[in-house]
Each structure stands twice: as structure tokens, then as C-alpha cells.
Amino acid sequence: MKKIIIALAAFALLVTPAIAADRGDKKDNGHGKKHWSYEGDTGPANWGDFSKTCATGKAQSPINIVRSDVITGHLAPIDFHYSDHAKNVVNNGHGIQLNLKKGSYIVVDGERFDLLQFHFHSPSEEQLNGKNQDMVAHLVHKSAKGQLAVVAVLFNADDKNDALKSIWEKMPSRAGDKESLGSFDVAAMLPENKAYYHFMGSLTTPPCSENVKWYVLQKTVSVGSKQLSAFRKLYYHTNRPVQALNGRVIVSGN
């Protein structure tokens, strides 16, 4: 356990310069009104034009999680405290995002992280043994100190997912549109077994800021084929390619 802590701490120090460099980047960086995308000259291969960290960072996400390389740790379970107070469903031009009112949070190692929003990518950005899943939800949290923590929930096409129904019914088809959603049971979207993989990483979109705590839940949940098709009609191939580990440690937790 001591070796794991030392390794994670060392990597946090390694990525600090990348975070500092990122703060001075211009959002367009000479592209005028162009914005990043998932393809073409504004796609992932050229995200360094929008933020240097996307190109030079050493702890970038997403990653391929090779199960045989994961270190078995004695990490505490994530303590979930999710309410059903939603705000709205937004089509932000890159995907579908649910914004939440205050009140939902997780506790990890005694530290509280408030849930700000979650959004979807299809196929999943994370890989398990080199394979993408059909979809992923990234639940973005922030501590009082400003530390980001993301919980990833992986989906595979199977039976319909009733927990997603209210979002899918309100899902805006045009970029920039949003629909009010008074409630959503976030906890119902999680698998029953909440064991996870933990590693240090980054945001998966520009500015690709690092020193983000990642918790990828090991068990997948289902999404209906019609639900998946409805999402992919709006946004398909919204996944950044997996990034090099660069010596990072992946630890399994309860």
C-alpha cells in the first residue's frame, strides 16, 4: 500500500508543470472561431493547437485498462450520496450533459467531492483490455479545494436502461438547446457492485487539464439498443483515443 501511495504522489508532482502551462493557452490559439471536435483538422490529433497540455501532458486520459497489469489495492469504497435534484439536459455541441443542483456528492478517503454534472460518450473513451464499451457516462465532481474527480460508468448494449429514460425523453437534438429536468435518480444509473479502477489522469477534452482523480467502475450496466441508436444519431464517435500510461499505476478498489 505504501508503494502505491508513493507512486501516485510522484506522478502528481510530475504532471504539475503541464497544469501550469495549460492556464496560459488561448482557447482558439489562432483558429479564429474554430472549436475543437472529434474529427478532421480540429480533431484529437490537433488538440494541441487549443491547449498545449493535450499534446505534451504525461498523464492524459482516457487510457486502456489492462486487467492483468492492475495492482490490487486496499482502497476504501466510494461513498455515494446522490440526490435526485436535476437542473437541465443540455446539448452542448459535443454531447449530451445533465447539469445538477447542489446536494449530490461522493466521499473518497474522507474527502468530499460535489457532483457538478455528467455527460456521455459513445463508444466509451476508456478501454478494458483493449476494447471500447458501447457508451460511458462521466460523472464530474469537484472538492472544496478545487480537486476534480471523475467516476466513469460503462454501458454495453443489452436490455433497455430505465434509469436513462427521463434523460432520453428530453434529449435536445440541436446544439445549444436545453430542456428542464426536475429530477433524476443518479444512483439508479450505477451498477450494484461499485468496485473500481483508480488512476491519475486528465480531462478527456481540451484543455486536457491533468491531476484529475479517475474512478472507473469495473462492472458495466446495460443500455438498450434503441437508446444507444437514439444517442448515436446525435453523437457518434465522441471518444478521444486512449493515451499512453507513461508509468502510471492503476489500482483496483472496493
Half-sphere exposure of 55 (CA within 13 A, CB side): 11
**Residues with active-site annotation:** 94
CA distance 122 to 97: 13
CB 185 within 8 A of CB 84: yes
Q: How far is CA 104 from CA 19, 79, 98, 136, 146, in A?
A: 27, 11, 13, 20, 16
* 131 Rama sector, left if φ>0, alpha if ψ -120 to 50, beta otherwise: beta
The whole-angstrom distance between residue 137's C-alpha and the CA centroid of its chain comes to: 7
